[in-house]
Amino acid sequence: MIVTLNKRKAFKDKKRQTEKRKYKTLIKNQNKIIENECFKQGNLKQNEVDFTNLKKLLGQAQKILDKAARKGIIHKNSAARRKSKISHKINNLERQVRIDNFAKNSVSAEE
């Protein structure tokens, strides 16, 4: 009986560690994808910038983080902080593009 309980405990621990590793990898990969997409969008010309893909990636990242927090892999405040950090990156990039467009339009209007 005790041997069975120990085996069950060991199996649960191993499964929990596998789940934890899986979600941490998913989170890390999603952040890398978003970073690369932000870098690509930042290097594009002003009229070619498209934020729909970034918004879709943000939604996927939020889903992963929420699920990890719900399962107890990361703390809910940590998930909220990470989601906020990702959305700030995207919003800052979007704001920068708008500012650049405005500056470009105002310079061309003055000429």
pLDDT digits (tens, 9 = 90+) for 72-89: 888 999 999 999 999 998
Share of the chain above pLDDT 70, in %: 86
> What's the rounded mean pLDDT across residues 80-107?
82
Determine if the pTM surpasses 0.85.
no
CATH topology of domain 2-110: Methane Monooxygenase Hydroxylase; Chain G, domain 1 (1.20.58)
Which has more pLDDT, 61 or 41? 61
Distance of CA 87 to CAs 1, 3, 13, 47, 76, Å?
51, 49, 34, 22, 17
Question: What residue ranges do the domains of the chain occupy?
Answer: 2-110
